[in-house]
């Protein structure tokens, strides 16, 4: 298992009224080739900030980022970043939104369109290509944003709460679509989620952030017998991981409340 991406001693502060607020402090993590890593931690602990640093949109105050052993500024160009809010352009249709990336990569229009239509079909969005984002439900918009991230064929997908606005049924379905897509195309995924259940079901590893400023508190290796999102949730080891993570994050489960 070789290392693809490495963060070493990353620190980041933001200016506030009377000084600076340290958000990330001495954060180190390793992402392997074809890894599926979830990052969990309390709201405001800096998960999106870490993604912005990985994507090269924000510069860390100190620390090193290495991609396949080389020190780099940020993995821009190698990552597809699906931001926390879907950020589709309202004046562009679904298809025009999806084709933005391929246009920037100079992919021939016909090829890009065919590819886009295939994605729309497999994500259950056939027939929406000429709609504008405001005509779609939140869940449909998230699917379009996910397609837009996948279609540029990045090495690493950074997904910031991609399924948070979805009903449970759609979420399970899309988790399956995502797992299948990343296994077929051999992608690395880094996922930020508030949903411990989702982190355990999808990931090979779960990274727990904590402290002020945040750093890696603990890394869990997840070993379940299946990678299907529904199968994973009924794996005999699932609930053990779930409870350990809840305890680590200090989330009170009803069992603990009752005792
Ligand atoms: N550009 C910025 N300027 C100033 N402060 C910022 C900036 N970006 C983030 N912050 C602050 O840094 C902290 C971490 O923000 P971040 O968005 O990374 O948290 P998060 O873990 O993604 O939270 P959530 O789970 O709610 O999405 C917050 O206190 C936020 O207000
Ligand atoms: Mg965030």
Q: For ligand 1, what atom is nearest to the CA of residue 194?
A: 25
Q: b/e per residue, 200-226, with b = 16+ CB within 10 A?
A: bbbbbbbbbbbeebbbbeeebebebee
Closest ligand to Cα 214: 1
Is the CB–ligand 1 distance for residue 46 below 6 Å?
yes
Q: Which two tokens stand for residue 248?
A: 């680590």
Whether residue 37 contacts residue 74, with contact meaning beta carbons closer than 8 Å, is answered with no
Per-residue pLDDT of the chain (259 residues; tens, 9 = 90+): 799 999 999 999 999 999 999 999 999 999 999 999 999 999 999 999 999 999 888 999 999 999 999 988 777 678 899 987 777 999 999 999 999 999 988 999 999 999 999 999 988 899 999 999 999 988 888 889 989 999 988 999 999 999 887 888 888 988 998 898 888 889 999 999 999 999 999 999 999 999 999 999 999 999 999 889 999 999 999 999 999 999 999 876 655 444 4
Question: Ligand 1, residues 11, 17, 20, 23: which to mutate, most atoms within 8 A of Cβ?
Answer: 23
State the distance from the centre of ligand 1 to the C-alpha of 52, rounded, in angstroms.
Answer: 10
The alpha-helical segments, DSSP class H, found in 71-167 are 94-98, 100-104, 109-122, 138-150
Interval 179-222: pLDDT, tens: 988 888 899 999 999 999 999 999 999 999 999 999 999 999 99
What is the reported pLDDT for 75? 74
What is the reported pLDDT for 170? 84
Is the CB–ligand 1 distance for residue 162 below 6 Å?
no
Q: For ligand 1, what atom is nearest to the CA of residue 52?
A: 18
State the distance from the centre of ligand 2 to the C-alpha of 57, rounded, in angstroms.
Answer: 14
Closest ligand to Cα 159: 2
- What's the predicted TM-score (pTM) here? 0.91
State the Cα angle at 86 between 137 and 187, rounded to 5°: 110
Atom 17 of ligand 1, nearest CA residue: 48
Whether residue 123 contacts residue 110, with contact meaning beta carbons closer than 8 Å, is answered with no
Closest ligand to Cα 50: 1
Interval 245-257: pLDDT, tens: 999 998 766 554 4
State the distance from the centre of ligand 1 to the C-alpha of 47, rounded, in angstroms.
Answer: 8
Q: Which two tokens stand for residue 201?
A: 């079901």
State the distance from the centre of ligand 2 to the C-alpha of 160, rounded, in angstroms.
Answer: 7
Is the CB–ligand 1 distance for residue 154 below 6 Å?
no
Is the CB–ligand 1 distance for residue 43 below 6 Å?
yes
């Amino acid at each position: 298992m070789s290392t693809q991406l490495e963060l070493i001693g990353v620190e980041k502060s933001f200016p506030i009224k009377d000084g600076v607020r340290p958000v990330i402090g001495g954060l180190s993590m390793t992402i392997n080739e074809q890894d599926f890593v979830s990052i969990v931690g309390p709201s405001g602990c800096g998960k999106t900030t870490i993604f912005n640093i990985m994507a090269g949109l924000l510069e860390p105050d100190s620390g090193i980022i290495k991609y396949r052993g080389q020190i780099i500024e940020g993995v821009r160009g190698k990552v597809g970043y699906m931001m926390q809010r879907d950020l589709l352009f309202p004046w562009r249709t679904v298809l025009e939104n999806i084709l933005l990336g391929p246009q920037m990569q100079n992919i021939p229009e016909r090829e890009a369109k065919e590819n886009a239509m295939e994605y729309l079909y497999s994500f259950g969005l056939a027939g929406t290509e000429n709609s504008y984002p405001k005509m779609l439900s939140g869940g449909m918009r998230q699917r379009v944003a996910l397609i837009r991230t996948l279609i540029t064929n990045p090495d690493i997908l950074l997904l910031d709460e991609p399924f948070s606005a979805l009903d449970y049924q759609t979420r399970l379905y899309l988790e399956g679509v995502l797992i299948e897509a990343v296994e077929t195309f051999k992608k690395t995924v880094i996922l930020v989620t508030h949903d411990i259940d989702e982190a355990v079901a999808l990931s090979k590893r779960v990274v727990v952030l904590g402290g002020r400023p945040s750093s890696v508190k603990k890394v869990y290796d997840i070993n379940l017998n299946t990678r299907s999102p529904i199968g994973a949730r009924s794996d005999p080891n699932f609930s053990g991981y779930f409870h350990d993570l809840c305890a680590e994050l200090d989330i009170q489960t009803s069992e603990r409340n009752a005792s």
